[in-house]
Amino acid sequence: MFQLHPTLAKDTFLVGDLPLCTVRLMNDCQFPWLILVPRVSNIKEIYELCEADQIQFLRESSWVSGQMAKIFGADKMNIAALGNQVSQLHFHHVVRYQNDTKWPNPVWGHPAISYTPEVLQHMKQTLMMALRGHHEMPFDWKMSV
């Protein structure tokens, strides 16, 4: 049975579920930052997924990164699967701007700035509405509030 790693549960907020992945918002208001986690037990690496799940994971990751780039007007999308601190397979999708506070350096290793309740609610609503309303979405987006 799938269980989200405790660190991911502590550091993120549920946005919704795709056919394979749960979609989580990183609690760092410096960047629009989603994390996709395949709902498959005991997986650390993408090669451990069956071939169909590998393809679905990449489809979902590509679709989410494209939507985020459009929604937030990204200069660059950073997509990463590090796993050094949390071994459970997950992809980070971080919107970057040439004028953000960390550009051109990585976002890793800097203190996060937590969302205020009001900004968090607005961010979750923005993501839910934008992703739900897209007419080319190839699957049902199940929103969670």
The pLDDT assigned to 35 comes to 97
Is residue 36 in a domain? yes
- H-state helical runs in 1-145: 6-11, 51-72, 117-132
Is residue 52 in a domain? yes
The pLDDT assigned to 125 comes to 87
For 14-39, give the secondary structure using H, E and C.
EEEECCCEEEEEECCCCCCEEEEEEC
Dihedral Cα 88, 79, 126, 118, nearest 10 deg: 60
Question: Domain total for the chain?
Answer: 1
Residue 122 lies in domain: 6-141
Is residue 99 in a domain? yes
Interval 13-70: pLDDT, tens? 999 889 999 999 999 999 999 999 999 999 999 999 999 999 999 999 999 999 899 8
The answer to whether residue 141 scores a pLDDT higher than 60 is no
Is residue 81 in a domain? yes
- Name the percent of the chain in helix, strand, coil, to the closest 5: 30, 20, 45
Is residue 1 in a domain? no
Report which residue type is found at 60: E
Q: What is the pTM assigned to this prediction? A: 0.88
CATH of the domain at 100: 3.30.428.10
